Amino acid sequence: MKLHTGERPHVCDVCGKGFTLKSLLRSHQHLHDGLRLFQCDQCGKSFHRAHALKLHQRVHTGERGYCCPYCTKSFSIPGNLSRHLRIHTGEKPYKCETCGKSFNQANTLKSHMRIHTGVRPFRCETCGKCFIQKSSLTTHQKATDSEDTLACVACGIVMPCVDSLHKHLHTHADIPCTCEPCGLQLSSTKLQAHQQHHSVDRPHNCSTCGKSFTSSSYLKVHLKSHSGEKPFSCDICGHRFTQHSSLKSHQAIHTGEKPFICPTCGKGFNNAGNLSRHKRIHTGEKPYSCDTCGRRFNQGNSLKAHQQIHTGEKPYMCDKCGKSFSYLRNLKDHKCFYV
């Protein structure tokens, strides 16, 4: 009956939390006394409650009994499913009291709050720099661990950390340097950032098309492009997407919002990808190279269109006369004769 009445007569004398049953109170009190009576025989990890141990053991058995109704992803515990569902529903129950920004996970809010408090708990032991997020420290340390990435491209001096290198590079700001892998000429400051495209390790390969990625999560997202799975739908026009971030970028088309601003010319874009591609106009960067003739391009689509010259492929056909073209713009020019 206590379940229906809401009565919780068994109260914890440490934190004041109430429970319907005395057995639940005893289980809860283990949190305060530090006792972890339930141990996993696979990895030795201990838990306060038998239920927590049971859920944990699914990590070892591979059991994923909690399935997402929106996509094919499944989870071993209900809490992980609940957090995942917020990606589809857009629910953001955790709100920052300082700026009003909302988040779908408590940990994300906790990390965000450090922007306001100024707390930087993650410190690099090499250079002493502190970070708000652990992921930022990890990225910083990966760069710091490699002497190759800490060597100045202009004079070869090796700096103790990334920040020291960035400051040093400004002493060579006007010196043109050549990227050895691709031959592109840039200033030393721009070349250092550009060379990361060549040095990044991409161990996760797509078995369908061979494209490689830096993490398994990026590969999983990419695989949806082959499976045709598009779980995220636009409420306004019905267009579907493989990623929630792609849906969010698309919705900016309807709102007219262009939050991504080019620092060089001030032009605005509705997503970060379009801004990145636009920036190559200013930097002269052309990361896409034709394997046949070596010609370079600043966009993947431009390379793909160019390669049709070598393959002889002409996918754009005139519906009036049947003539085919390698480039869409050539078809459009051709159609002008019929106007």
Choosing from 156, 174, 199, the residue where a domain stops is: 199
Own/partner contacts of 161-165, CB < 8 Å, gap of 24 or more, are 161/124, 161/126, 161/127, 161/129, 163/127, 163/129, 164/127, 165/192
State the pLDDT at residue 169. Answer: 67
pLDDT category, 112, cuts 50, 70, 90? confident
- Are 59 and 126 contained in the same domain? no
State the pLDDT at residue 147. Answer: 46
The answer to the question of residue 90 being in a domain is: no
Residue 81 has pLDDT above 80, yes or no: yes
Choosing from 180, 199, 218, the residue where a domain stops is: 199
The answer to the question of residue 157 being in a domain is: yes
Please tell me what DSSP assigns to residue 243. S
Choosing from 30, 63, 96, the residue where a domain stops is: 63
Residue 60 belongs to what H/E stretch?
helix 58-61
| Range(s) of the domain holding residue 300 | 296-338
d(CA 194, CA 279): 12
Domain count within the chain: 3
| Domain of residue 314, CATH code | 3.30.160.60
d(CA 48, CA 35): 6
The top-scoring range by mean pLDDT among 1-15, 169-183, 212-226 is 212-226
pLDDT digits over 239-286, tens only? 888 777 778 778 878 888 887 788 888 888 877 778 888 888 888 888
The answer to the question of residue 286 being in a domain is: no
pTM reported for the whole predicted model: 0.37
